């Protein structure tokens, strides 16, 4: 069972990284599509992409925390 947990953890982490990377790349490309490609715009586009990905990551984390808080039904231990 430990191997299954480790495998699921590795797969979940890699999928999460891939998802946030895709979001960052898409946001950066969308920024570049609307801006002129001056040297400062490149840096701003990268910052914009990472900022959008960070916002999405935060939203996913908060959603997961709410789901865990609602789904966990652990009773208080008896004294």
pLDDT in tens, 22-56: 999 999 999 988 887 777 888 888 899 999 999 99
Rounded average pLDDT over 3-27: 89
Number of domains in the chain: 1
pLDDT at 42: 83
Spatial CB neighbours of 48, under 8 Å, sequence gap ≥ 6: 27, 28, 31
Tokens representing 1 are: 């069972």
pLDDT at 33: 87
In a domain, 77, yes or no: no
Taking each helix axis from N to C end, the angle separating 2-34 and 39-71, rounded to the nearest 10 degrees, works out to 140
By residue range, what is the domain housing residue 34?
2-71
């Amino acid at each position: 069972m430990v191997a299954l947990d480790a495998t699921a953890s590795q797969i979940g982490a890699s999928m999460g990284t891939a998802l946030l990377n895709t979001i960052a790349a898409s946001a950066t490309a969308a920024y570049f599509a609307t801006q002129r490609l001056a040297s400062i715009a490149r840096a701003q586009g990268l910052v914009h992409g990472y900022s959008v990905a960070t916002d999405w990551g935060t939203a996913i984390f908060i959603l997961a925390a709410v789901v865990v808080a609602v789904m966990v039904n652990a009773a208080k231990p008896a004294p």
